[in-house]
Structure 1
């Protein structure tokens, strides 16, 4: 059974899609904000994302970019925006398909079937092992030399994003948006504080980190 994450802030429409997709053999869950969408996709892998662009906390295009930083999950955009520029922006950001509202159930089901056929395995490995510690993404825990490391929810959220991007730069804006939300996209001091805390808990020498690197003026990188 394919799992579908529906990202739609209109509660009635979201519920109707969920019921109809269940009736046609899909396991569908709903969230109403971009922040919740990124958290849901990170905590439990899904097979397809159905995404409304007009969300209350952030633009749907930013959600697409956030997902594409670490996942190849098929993304079907649902939007009342009919302009070609909106479609181009969403597709350039990484969306696989674009459906304008209003739409029929048969059309949505056809798009879902097409997305399922095109999909490749996109589930990340459940653990990321570094030299001194292991990040278990499924269990949401970090083990260092056989002992669980106690992380705050925010510390875990930052480490999880970095671990899912292991070896790649994660921009400051991407981290802030995924962990705190779009309203905090410029609050870079938050990251400096929490990265220092993570280094104290995970690095042998926090002043000369081996795994949690700062790319000056750009973002951070986790090197296993």
Structure 2
């Protein structure tokens, strides 16, 4: 079996070398760079799959800008690492498309567990399955969502949230379940994070909370997706 590819974008040479050596011992295929531009180039050229570990304190490009550019170009899961542990910074990174956030310092074993969790959550994007809910079609392999013949532009977290709801169409899914399955209880994720993503999804689907078509909130319980009434 091929080793899982991990791209490490970290400017601190000591951390980068130590982390790379530890991950290689854990049977990861590691490519490490010190600059955001190099990380972007490698991510764009690499085959699909793997995980990106992104430090936010980079010398050439702000880490959050790198994150935004990654989310605009590749579907590879991104695990942000930073010494900053304030909630606003963490929530911003998650809302920009980070799949997880780890606060420095952390052990290689801790990072290994986070990588495995991110890969479990992102595994659905490679399934050869298509889900249909009314005029909405979600292709897990192509990582696309099409509504009434029009492909929707979506952030990775939005797609995963929509896909999870579609896999359980007609069932009310609790916010706790969504936190566990989509965010894996990531530090900084909360019911408010889900509400923000649901609001984004409603805009994509051309609806509002007051006038829902596909996404229906059940107060105190959760949310479900269902085909619009005829």
Instruction: Give the TM interval when normalised to the shorter protein.
Output: 0.5 to 0.7
SS in 1 for 2:84: coil
1:38 corresponds to 2:40: yes
Structure 2 stretches lacking a partner, 5+ long? 127-150, 154-230
1:25-47 deviations in whole A, cap 9, x for unaligned? 10001011111111010111351
Q: In the alignment, which residue of structure 2 is the partner of 1:92?
A: 95
Q: Distance in 2 between matches of 1:102 and 1:28?
A: 20
1:102 is aligned to: 105
Residue 71 of structure 2 is matched in structure 1 by: 68
Aligned partners of 1:73 and 1:122 also within 8 Å: no
**How much does 1:84 deviate?**
0.9
**1:11 to 1:122, Cα distance in 2 relative to 1, 3 A:** farther
Deviation string 1:38-73 (CA, Å, 9 cap, x unpaired) is 101011135100000000011111111111112221
The answer (yes or no) to whether the contact 1:53–1:79 under 8 Å persists in 2 is yes
Q: Which residue of 2 aligns with 1:16?
A: 18
Q: Map of 1:42-191 to 2, 5 A cutoff?
A: 42-45=44-47, 46-120=49-123
Pick closer, same or farther for the CA change 1:168–1:30 going to 2, 3 Å.
farther
Question: Cα distance, 1:106 vs. partner?
Answer: 1.6
Cα separation, 2, equivalents of 1:107 and 1:80: 15
Quick one: distance in 2 between partners of 1:63 and 1:47? 17
Contact (CA 8 Å) 2:90, 2:101: kept in 1 or not?
Answer: yes
Give the corresponding residue for 1:3: 5
Pairwise CA distance, 1:121:
7.4
RMSD of aligned residue pairs (Cα, Å): 2.0
1:120 Cα deviation after fit: 3.7
Question: Residues of 2 paired with 1:13 and 1:106: CA distance?
Answer: 14
TM-score normalised to structure 1 length: 0.53
For structure 1, the residue ranges without an aligned partner over 5 or more in a row are: 124-166, 170-224
> What is the match of residue 26 of structure 1?
28
- The two structures have a TM-score, normalised by structure 2, of 0.51
Q: Secondary structure at the match of 1:6?
A: strand
Moved over 2 A (4+): 120-123
Q: Is the 8 A contact 2:44 2:74 kept in 1?
A: no
How far 1:97 moved relative to its partner?
0.4
